[in-house]
């Protein structure tokens, strides 16, 4: 029979399970992004676009929250937006 401390630990794990799986999913996406960033085809280049001011603030805030670069946040947003719309010839895996 499980001790009261074991039962409490299991309850805490059940409570945190969704957060833990979300964290693991985020980590896998981040790792995939960094792995792809090592590919020379995904080298960054400075280019300017007009962006709504609220997005600029949100991009900076998200980069600060994740302790990452603005480039990573913008590239991830583009990746999510264009997911599935690439043709085989467009991919740079």
Segment (H or E) for 6: helix 4-37
Alpha-carbon distance values, 4 to 1, 7, 11, 17, 88 (Å): 9, 5, 11, 20, 56
pTM, whole model, 2 decimals?
A: 0.54
Burial class (CB in 10 A: 0-12, 13-18, 19+), 32: exposed
Percent of the chain with pLDDT over 70: 91
Q: Which residue has the tokens 């676009």?
A: 49
**Segment 23-53, tens digit of pLDDT:** 898 888 888 777 777 778 778 889 999 999 9
Q: Compute how many other C-beta atoms are within 10 angstroms of the C-beta atom of residue 73.
A: 19
């Amino acid at each position: 029979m499980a001790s009261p401390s074991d039962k409490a630990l299991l309850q805490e794990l059940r409570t945190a399970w969704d957060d833990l799986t979300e964290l693991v999913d985020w980590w896998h996406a981040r790792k995939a992004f960094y792995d792809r960033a090592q590919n020379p085809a995904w080298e960054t280049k400075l280019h300017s676009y007009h962006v709504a001011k609220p997005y600029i603030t949100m991009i900076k805030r998200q980069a600060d929250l994740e302790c990452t670069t603005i480039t990573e946040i913008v590239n991830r947003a583009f990746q999510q937006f264009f997911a599935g719309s690439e043709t085989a010839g467009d991919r740079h895996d």
